[in-house]
């Protein structure tokens, strides 16, 4: 399954993941908190996303209820894999190294990663 939403689609998906099934009005209100955006713009985007299968809508009521058809984690995976392929020669651990080194991490985050490494070592 191809899961590589555009920027605008991603913004909308974030709202749906956070709020759960929502009306266009809800999504528009949420997006408007951060930037100006027209109502029909959001509507159009969500209609297109429905055609693509990124969301599905319930048309029982006049105001259609939209819910995400792709999960946050599979979208993370899709976009991460894409970056790994395009920029890190297919090596995920090189991306991990880059991401780790590029930002300060809290001790909690560091130990969280160590725990994951431990798990991976056990299983190998």
Q: Give the nearest distance from C-beta 85 to a second copy in angstroms.
A: 10
Does 24 sit near DNA (CB under 7 A)? Answer: yes
Query: What are the angstrom distances between the C-alpha of 9 and each of 6, 14, 54, 68, 111?
Result: 5, 9, 9, 11, 34
Does 43 sit near a second copy (CB under 8 A)? Answer: no
Q: Which does 83 bind (CB under 5 to 8 A by kind): a second copy, DNA, none?
A: a second copy
Residue (51 or 108) nearer to a second copy, CB: 108
Which distant-in-sequence residues (6+ apart) come within 8 Å of 123 by Cβ? none
Beta bridge pairs of residue 57: 66
Does 116 sit near a second copy (CB under 8 A)? Answer: yes
Distance in angstroms (rounded) separating the CA atoms of residues 64 and 75 = 24
Among 47, 56, 67, 96, which residue sits at the site for DNA (rule: CB under 7 A)?
47
Does 19 sit near a second copy (CB under 8 A)? Answer: no
């Amino acid at each position: 399954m191809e899961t590589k939403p555009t920027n605008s689609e991603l913004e909308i998906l974030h709202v749906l993941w956070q709020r759960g099934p929502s009306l266009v009005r809800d999504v528009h209100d949420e997006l408007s908190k951060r930037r100006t955006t027209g109502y029909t713009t959001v509507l159009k985007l969500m209609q297109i996303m429905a055609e693509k299968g990124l969301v599905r809508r319930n048309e029982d009521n006049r105001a259609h209820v939209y819910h995400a058809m792709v999960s946050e984690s599979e979208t993370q995976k899709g976009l991460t894999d894409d970056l790994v392929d395009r920029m890190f020669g297919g090596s995920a651990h090189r991306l991990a190294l880059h991401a780790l080194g590029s930002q300060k991490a809290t001790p909690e985050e560091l130990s969280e990663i160590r725990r994951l490494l431990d798990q991976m070592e056990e299983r190998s």
